[in-house]
Structure 1
Amino acid sequence: MCHKEILRGKHPLVGSPLFLTPRFILNLIFASRASKVVNQGYQKFRTRAFQVVRGEGNLIVLPNSLVEELATLPSTVASPHGALEHDLLGSYTGLDVILESRLHHSIVQRRLTPRLGLITPRLEKELIPLFEELLPPSKGEWIEFQPYQVFCQLAARLTAHAIVGPAFCNDPVWLDIAINYTENLFKTIVVLRLLPSWTHSVVSRLLPSYWKCQGYIRSSKVLLGPKIRELLGRSEDGSLAPDSNEDEFNVLTWLAFLAKGSERKPDNIAHTEVLLSLASIHTTLLRMLNVLYDLTAHPELLEELRVEIYQVASSPEGWNKPYDRLYKLDSVLRESQRMSPPSTIGIKRLFKTPYTFQNGLHIPKGTYVCMPVYAIENDPEHTPNPDLYDGLRSYRAYMQSQSTPGNSNNSKEFQFSYANDPNVLNFGYGKYACPGRFFASLIIKMVLAKLLVEYDFQFLPGTGRPANLEVHEFLFSWPWNKMLLRRREGSTFSF
């Protein structure tokens, strides 16, 4: 679509400094200040759709009033996977495989999530040696460490238990694939999306990150292939029963057990495993890191969280299904994600057929739409004083709700993983919300509970909270930042 066609469109264009600013420049403006561009449109056109230029296409940004209707549209009409593949340049990064099957989505939602309570003890047990291996022994003294690197390893090792199972969760080849595929995928995306799409086929081949992504996918097929073929064979002869064996509660086994037709190709299953590791590691890593930064910048919250953790551990129920009872930690997680989300836009859909919303807004086939989730959640009408980090914001709202008759059982509405609030949309909304959010929440809370009890943290002298790095709609953290860590004397957690 040329610039003149954009201006003649039904939706106002946001982010153009001049009437005939070239598309290439508009794309660079979006790449460098996407959150500001989208927030400008949100503030100006709060109740109607507007558009911004991104790459060779346009984003149609919908008003929050349409979130309910958008979230209920079937994927045959508005595809979340199609939008994701579009965002992450699937044909150049290997993400195009997600368009071929939704089996992995169903497995995470219907097999993994209901069994999180059963795999939690195994994960807690794994965390003990991981802390000893990855965190430097400080002996009461302040020691420098790189939190991004530590959390990256923790996220990869813990999520691997559920993604590939015990056979590979500590395999150095798998961990190298899981961690470095993610890093190189985003390097490839960031560069290619700065350039016109007609250059991608050539420029991608000039990027080392592109070839590394291809290599990691090939390596995953070599590594996982024998195990996948074994599982497929057991599935065919009836000896595979993953739902009755806790050692086989992992996505790799369920994929082999449930896959049909072309889904049963070992290479497809291995490829899918890599993409699942991308999603799980990226989410958990960034959230743990930003929470640590926020708590170190607001040390008054640390002691409140430690008291809550001790209270839950010493309650009559003990440390039994404790993570849904850490209300203050949930509040801190929600506040951290509000201010440092992984993406400033969300509920992304690529329309596969024309559709007209109930308010008369018509969306043609092939249109990419999204919600301005960062702008919505930081709207003063939804979040008072949004520029202020208030870690206990949601906790106070939860406590206030408990004093209202009939609201005593509404604690789920204030949990980090809750995805039915039209003003809190980072995990999506409704039935198409991120299926892995419960697993991610479990891992994040587990790591933070042990970390906060056993260690103190400080920024390096003369420094403060590291700023987020914004590129396109994504928010990243610099991976080589250092902090100070000190083991707390006499503080050992229950696992």
Structure 2
Amino acid sequence: MHIEVCKEQLTRNLRNYPIFHLQNFSSMTDFLEDALIGPLNEEASHWLSQRIGEKAEVTAYETMVRIIAGTASRMLGGTRVSRDLEWLETAAHYSMDVVTVAMQLRPYPAFVRPFIAPWLDGIKVLDRHLKVAMRVFKDEFDHRLALEPPVKGKAQEKRIDMIQWMTESARGSDRNADVLCHNMLFMSLAAVHTSSATLVHVLFDLCAAPQYMQGLREEVERVIGEQGFTLAAINSLKKLDSFMKESQRMNQTVLMTFNRRVAKPIKFTDGATLPVGTYITMPSDSVAHDPDIYENPHQFDGLRFYDKRMSVKTEAYRHQFATTGPESLAFGQGKTACPGRFFAASQIKMVLANILINYDVSFPPGQTERPKNIHKGGLVMADRSQKLVFTPRKR
């Protein structure tokens, strides 16, 4: 259910969208707003000032996780959720704690795991996270589930947040506040660390190639000055979008993606056949560094995709950060591609735009080279100990 909600309601509400049912109104014009972009900007500005404020040297990953947790939580349930410090800590830690428990259980056969799991300390930590989610969301889910369905022809205020979309989408056994609270934890798992990692990689690349800083800042100041913090403005940040996509290309989250087990025999045009039970995967990192696809693939070019967008008359969208394709597998591909990637793109751009406008960013004194990524199995992670210096700009 939460996947479908991300594909439909979340993506739709990034655009200008009515905040009321409009059967009784002749025009939608007076009832349109940037449903999520304005609040995202407000939250990004708030948490940057809270976490950084004056000139500071901060641990990049830890700081950005908290800022992304705040902006993502604003989408989940408004400021009541995004300013709840206990929930924000749960949102920041839940995904890593889930991975820890999964790694502890992995060596055991599947039928044994239910008997081992209750004795793990990590399970107790996950239980505490669930209690926090129940405290934050359960009463609100109960309230909205109990509301009468909208009456045709009667305008009704409609909340724009994940609580509302899940409530509207829930059917059968999913129409249960406990189940929906679990889903909010899944949402935090999907929304926080992947976006935080992408944001940190972009900041590392920006500090390692500071020659891009002024051009990106000028674009942000010009576009935001003309259009304000709106979705149209965010979509107009083409150079920033390109820099993000190039950083993502160079720093894949995983070496391989789209892991699947064959359920029915697959026969290729050359006659080769994959039998049932075969495991397949796509080498996303190798594709991202394939010289047949990208010129000088091991060289960072922050305007690579901007130049591609400007040089083609059709299908320029193929070179946008959130666009997937055979040559760009970071978000997956096809119907199983990341359903929240459009929100993630807007969220990351919003934080970066606020940083570029309000701060100069650099490595600590004496450091000029980007920290090397950490490889663990098939995972690729940014160095979580790396510090960055944020210096407020005089404006």
- TM-score band by shorter chain is 0.7 to 0.9
Judge conservation of contact 2:372–2:382 (CA < 8 Å) in 1: yes
Q: Which amino acid counterpart does residue 225 of structure 1 have in structure 2?
A: K
Task: Find 2:211's aligned residue among 300, 305, 327.
Answer: 300
Judge conservation of contact 2:252–2:284 (CA < 8 Å) in 1: no
- 1:324 equivalent to 2:235? Answer yes
CA distance in 1, matches of 2:79, 2:269: 49
Task: Find 1:393's aligned residue among 288, 304, 318.
Answer: 304
Q: Are the structure 2 counterparts of residues 191 and 473 from structure 1 closer, same or farther at C-alpha, using a change threshold of 3 Å?
A: farther
Alpha-carbon RMSD across the aligned residues, in angstroms, is: 2.5
CA distance in 2, matches of 1:367, 1:276: 30
Written as runs of structure 1 = structure 2, the 5 A alignment for 1:91-240 is: 103-117=1-15, 118-138=35-55, 143-193=56-106, 195=107, 197=109, 207-234=120-147, 237-238=148-149
By how many angstroms is 1:290 displaced? 0.5
Q: Are the structure 2 counterparts of residues 223 and 281 from structure 1 closer, same or farther at C-alpha, using a change threshold of 3 Å?
A: same
Corresponding residue SS for 1:483: strand
Judge conservation of contact 1:296–1:459 (CA < 8 Å) in 2: yes
Q: Are the structure 2 counterparts of residues 223 and 311 from structure 1 closer, same or farther at C-alpha, using a change threshold of 3 Å?
A: closer
Question: 1:306-343 CA deviation, whole Å, 9 max, x = no partner?
Answer: 1211232344x555421111111111111111111222
CA distance in 1, matches of 2:343, 2:300: 26
CA distance in 1, matches of 2:360, 2:240: 17
By how many angstroms is 1:218 displaced? 4.0
Which residue number corresponds to residue 376 of structure 2? 471
Judge conservation of contact 1:356–1:362 (CA < 8 Å) in 2: yes
Q: Which amino acid counterpart does residue 188 of structure 2 have in structure 1?
A: S
Corresponding residue SS for 2:254: coil
Which residue number corresponds to residue 486 of structure 1? 391
Judge conservation of contact 2:243–2:303 (CA < 8 Å) in 1: yes
Q: Which amino acid counterpart does residue 50 of structure 2 have in structure 1?
A: E
Judge conservation of contact 2:322–2:345 (CA < 8 Å) in 1: yes
Q: Are the structure 2 counterparts of residues 395 and 266 from structure 1 closer, same or farther at C-alpha, using a change threshold of 3 Å?
A: same
CA distance in 1, matches of 2:173, 2:113: 29
Q: Are the structure 2 counterparts of residues 269 and 482 from structure 1 closer, same or farther at C-alpha, using a change threshold of 3 Å?
A: same
Corresponding residue SS for 2:36: helix
Which residue number corresponds to residue 92 of structure 1? none
Judge conservation of contact 2:69–2:88 (CA < 8 Å) in 1: yes
| TM-score, normalised via structure 1 length | 0.69
By how many angstroms is 1:441 displaced? 0.2
Question: 1:235-277 CA deviation, whole Å, 9 max, x = no partner?
Answer: xx32599x9645x212222212221111112221111110111
Which residue number corresponds to residue 446 of structure 1? 350
Corresponding residue SS for 2:291: coil
Which residue number corresponds to residue 278 of structure 1? 189
Q: Which amino acid counterpart does residue 299 of structure 1 have in structure 2?
A: P
Judge conservation of contact 2:309–2:317 (CA < 8 Å) in 1: no
Question: More displaced, 452-461 or 213-222?
Answer: 213-222
Corresponding residue SS for 1:221: helix
Judge conservation of contact 1:348–1:368 (CA < 8 Å) in 2: yes
Specify every segment of 5 or more residues in structure 2 that has no aligned partner in the other structure, as ranges. 16-34
- 1:411 equivalent to 2:287? Answer no
By how many angstroms is 1:460 displaced? 2.0
By how many angstroms is 1:288 displaced? 0.7
By how many angstroms is 1:116 displaced? 0.8
Task: Find 1:461's aligned residue among 365, 390, 393.
Answer: 365
> Percent sequence identity over matched residues?
28
By how many angstroms is 1:220 displaced? 1.9
Which residue number corresponds to residue 90 of structure 1? none
Specify every segment of 5 or more residues in structure 1 that has no aligned partner in the other structure, as ranges. 1-102, 402-406, 491-495
CA distance in 2, matches of 1:126, 1:222: 22
By how many angstroms is 1:110 displaced? 1.1
Judge conservation of contact 1:190–1:472 (CA < 8 Å) in 2: no
Judge conservation of contact 1:165–1:252 (CA < 8 Å) in 2: no
Judge conservation of contact 2:310–2:316 (CA < 8 Å) in 1: no
Q: Which amino acid counterpart does residue 122 of structure 2 have in structure 1?
A: S
| TM-score, normalised via structure 2 length | 0.86
Written as runs of structure 1 = structure 2, the 5 A alignment for 1:355-374 is: 355-374=266-285
Which residue number corresponds to residue 18 of structure 1? none
Judge conservation of contact 1:190–1:471 (CA < 8 Å) in 2: no
- 1:426 equivalent to 2:343? Answer no
Matched pairs, number: 371
Question: More displaced, 454-463 or 320-329?
Answer: 454-463
CA distance in 2, matches of 1:115, 1:244: 17
